[in-house]
Structure 1
């Protein structure tokens, strides 16, 4: 049975125009230019800017989903089930010839309220063939991943291990089955220059917990079972620099999920294609702009799925023009990038855009699975 499975960090698909006291990044630039004499005037203006930008952005997010033509979608940074359903009804279904349903979301642990979610083709399953299990309450102690590095954060053994959740989605597909572990691991941004290194123990603990979940779910038969770990895992094994130079970046917090365990089909692509995120920023210590293409989004396949092969698609047409689509091209000038085609209509230099991540999809040939 052939299936297309996709994962996509849709970047703050939210009904809120700000996160508590924190202004959403999309509106910060425009609001910084304005002055208001009364607080309510600023609030009204901020709402208007946010809504206008959101409509443009969500058309592009929907175009990426339509282009992927996935049977199953694992999503990150979704505000609520209501917003998810509204987005598909008013954006995706106006652009895609696939109709989605079976929407699932459980409120997780993220302080901004952004959660992981699931959707699938309506005609793929009946409602009673989809079962979800949240692990938002799971603790470090429960999975045996509490150690000295975690204690250094002031975390206790009974604190929650997942920064968002690991949503387990069991799909009964008739003669076969598939289980998804939908994740969004701890961000590398800790407000410091050592963001990746400083937050690595938290991501590694989450990765170890996910591995444990898979092994608990399938027992000694986990290698022969049909499962995929999907989501924004917020770490990378290598960096692709300007000119296409690839530099390994060990250690990586995701090693528990890949060393003798899940298989990353993106690693079989040519080096210049192995990325789902582009980062460009001024590095004060180096006094220069640093540009990096990295893979943050993953569909890690069980050994049983991987041995049957997988076709990988990475949807990049929704990225802003400032993103070089081919890391090998040494010309990063505005003149060159602004004339590069292969973008959706109305994509901007920095915004609007579909997301700051690419949609990653794989086509798999699902074998008959061991049934419980």
Structure 2
């Protein structure tokens, strides 16, 4: 059987801020959006809260209207703000109970060719169990499976599951499995929290997959906190909390006697990073025996160790981590890059991939053949 992980970067629609070219500017806007979203949930708005709400709405381009270039302010019942004819904004709500609404990121369609290249990658990788990162919804995955994959493949996916996570940008994680690899059990960790708050920005779902051999495979799909916005200190700490929790879940399942486990997805950091150490290494008191597929003798990275954009070592952020039983059963493994844009000719691209915006993803797919 083949196991794979692929960050599809949204199949049909993507937040405009995430697709923007001027990342330095839009990183700041995403940080502002996150801070404002958190503040709007306060039960009571202090004078400081109200001043920040106005400041951040202006920064997001919402001073004159509820719809800006990148963000929409939904005021469904009651009012958060008013805009006097003399100009400016006034926060009229005294707290969350006074109004019903939210902030919403505007989306834009992914190019048709980008979607078709994504389908081609999924077809060519030909995984029996595919962990999917940054998909909009289960319905989007179903549409992709039927409308895009079926016309080019003689074997589409019989089972598709995605659980809505905590990310209000609509970038969640899921799994697609072939018909003879039934999803038997699902456990969500969307509500896992510690003293600092929710742990997972999306979820860390556990999927128990039945194999034709009669064995089962436990698949844990992850998308850790990005380095894209927020302070480096905060994002590092968030990834470390996520790594610690995934390691705890993994050790618990191994203690229950489950031998065949893979932890896969976009962990947004490198193998030597401190935030990932609790998962990749563990500690003397709490070791982990997970092995990165990139360390397997069969692994073929085509000469480029990274899995994101340029393929350099500092962009090695996508993983298939295997329990000892799975790692021992690996027969082949590697990176599939044909859907990733390169202007330098570092790897072969699809002949129809002639513009960066038509790339299937910024991420390469990673895969492993396993004899279970």
TM-score when scaled to structure 1? Answer: 0.69
Q: Distance in 1 between matches of 2:316 and 2:331?
A: 17
Q: CA 1:293–1:70 in structure 2 vs 1: closer, same or farther (change >3 Å)?
A: same
Q: Identify the match of residue 318 of structure 1 among 325, 339, 348.
A: 339
Structure 1 match to 2:277: 255
Residue 93 of structure 1 and its aligned partner are, at CA, apart by 1.4
Asked whether the equivalents of residues 8 and 360 of structure 1 are also in contact (C-alpha less than 8 Å), the reply is: yes
Aligned length: 284
Structure 2 match to 1:135: 189
**Corresponding residue SS for 2:8:** strand
1:184-223 pair list within 5 angstroms: 184-190=223-229, 195=232, 198-219=234-255, 221=257
Asked whether the equivalents of residues 265 and 310 of structure 1 are also in contact (C-alpha less than 8 Å), the reply is: no
Structure 2 match to 1:166: 204
Q: CA 1:24–1:139 in structure 2 vs 1: closer, same or farther (change >3 Å)?
A: closer
Moved more, 293-302 or 72-81: 293-302
Is there any run of 5+ residues in structure 1 with no aligned partner, and where?
30-38, 44-48, 141-155, 238-249, 281-290, 327-341, 367-372
Q: Distance in 2 between matches of 1:184 and 1:177?
A: 23
Q: What is the Cα-based RMSD across aligned positions, in Å?
A: 2.9
**Corresponding residue SS for 1:351:** helix
Asked whether the equivalents of residues 304 and 313 of structure 2 are also in contact (C-alpha less than 8 Å), the reply is: no
Q: Which has the larger radius of gyration?
A: 2
**Corresponding residue SS for 1:130:** strand
Residue 324 of structure 1 and its aligned partner are, at CA, apart by 4.9
Residue 125 of structure 1 and its aligned partner are, at CA, apart by 3.4
1:10-25 pair list within 5 angstroms: 10-14=8-12, 16=13, 19=15, 22-23=16-17, 25=19
Asked whether the equivalents of residues 79 and 113 of structure 1 are also in contact (C-alpha less than 8 Å), the reply is: yes
Moved more, 315-324 or 202-211: 315-324
**Corresponding residue SS for 2:158:** strand
Asked whether the equivalents of residues 180 and 228 of structure 1 are also in contact (C-alpha less than 8 Å), the reply is: yes
**Corresponding residue SS for 1:57:** helix
Residue 267 of structure 1 and its aligned partner are, at CA, apart by 2.4
Structure 2 match to 1:68: 125
Structure 2 match to 1:179: 218
User: What is the CA deviation profile of residues 161-213 of structure 1, one whole-angstrom value per residue up to 9, with x for unaligned ones?
Assistant: 11110010012336211100111011011256xx4x55211111101101111
Q: Distance in 2 between matches of 1:276 and 1:351?
A: 18
